[in-house]
Amino acid sequence: MSVGEMKKISIIFFVFLIILYMYHNNNKNIQSLYSTLSIVREYAAFLNKDSLVINDRKLSNKEHKNGFEIKIHDEMKNNNIYRVIYFNNTKVESITYNIDYFMSLFTGNKSYVYSSNGYTEELQVDSIKGFLESFDPEVDGREFAVCEKLNQKNWFYCENNH
């Protein structure tokens, strides 16, 4: 087998792995994310805070971590989450799970969002795929941030390119 053929096979294999990886990681189990919400909610109450930003790198060393932090880190690792942003006041509770850090370097940011009142700061669209097919940077501007509703009430899948 020539070097050129080996390169072609390697490229095809690499592309296949990326597609498989993207497919697997874009089919999240919302029930698992909802379970993570309850742990984060308890942790915020334990800390007596209305908002939290939790990064996986800060929790990666399990030494000197409490039980909440260990559970949250394990959930983040299991769900390919690299950041959790939690907010809760008397009117609304929301949580954003930023996912797939490695691929976000190439494809933009992706997240799952729960919002108790159904509001997201991002533009809500029927389909992100449909939005992207009609998105024209010359007309619409370079940056976008959109969310599509999921089947579960008040849950959204979001993408942005900034």
Q: Over the stretch 132-159, which tens digit does the pLDDT of each residue have? A: 898 877 767 788 999 999 999 999 999 9
pLDDT of residue 8 exceeding 80: no
Tokens, residue 31: 């029930």
Query: Does a structural domain hold residue 43?
Result: yes
Q: Over the stretch 14-42, which tens digit does the pLDDT of each residue have? A: 555 444 444 444 445 677 888 889 999 99
Three-state DSSP at 10 gives: helix
Task: Identify the DSSP state of 13.
Answer: H
Q: Are strands 109-115 and 93-99 parallel, antiparallel or unpaired?
A: antiparallel
Three-state DSSP at 93 gives: strand
Q: Provide the domain count of the chain.
A: 1
Q: Which helix (H) or strand (E) holds 88?
A: strand 81-88
Q: Over the stretch 76-134, which tens digit does the pLDDT of each residue have? A: 988 889 999 999 998 999 999 999 866 655 667 899 999 999 999 999 999 999 998 98
Query: Does a structural domain hold residue 1?
Result: no
Closest CA to 41 of 29, 30, 54, 28: 54
Query: Does a structural domain hold residue 97?
Result: yes
Query: Does a structural domain hold residue 42?
Result: yes
Range of the domain at 120: 30-160
Percentage of the residues of the chain whose pLDDT score is greater than 90: 45
Q: How far apart are CA 58 and CA 45, in angstroms?
A: 20
Q: Do the Cβ atoms of 129 and 82 come closer than 8 Å?
A: no
Tokens, residue 38: 């309850």
Query: Does a structural domain hold residue 39?
Result: yes
Please state the pTM of the whole predicted model: 0.76
Q: Over the stretch 58-86, which tens digit does the pLDDT of each residue have? A: 777 767 788 899 999 999 988 889 999 99
Query: Does a structural domain hold residue 128?
Result: yes
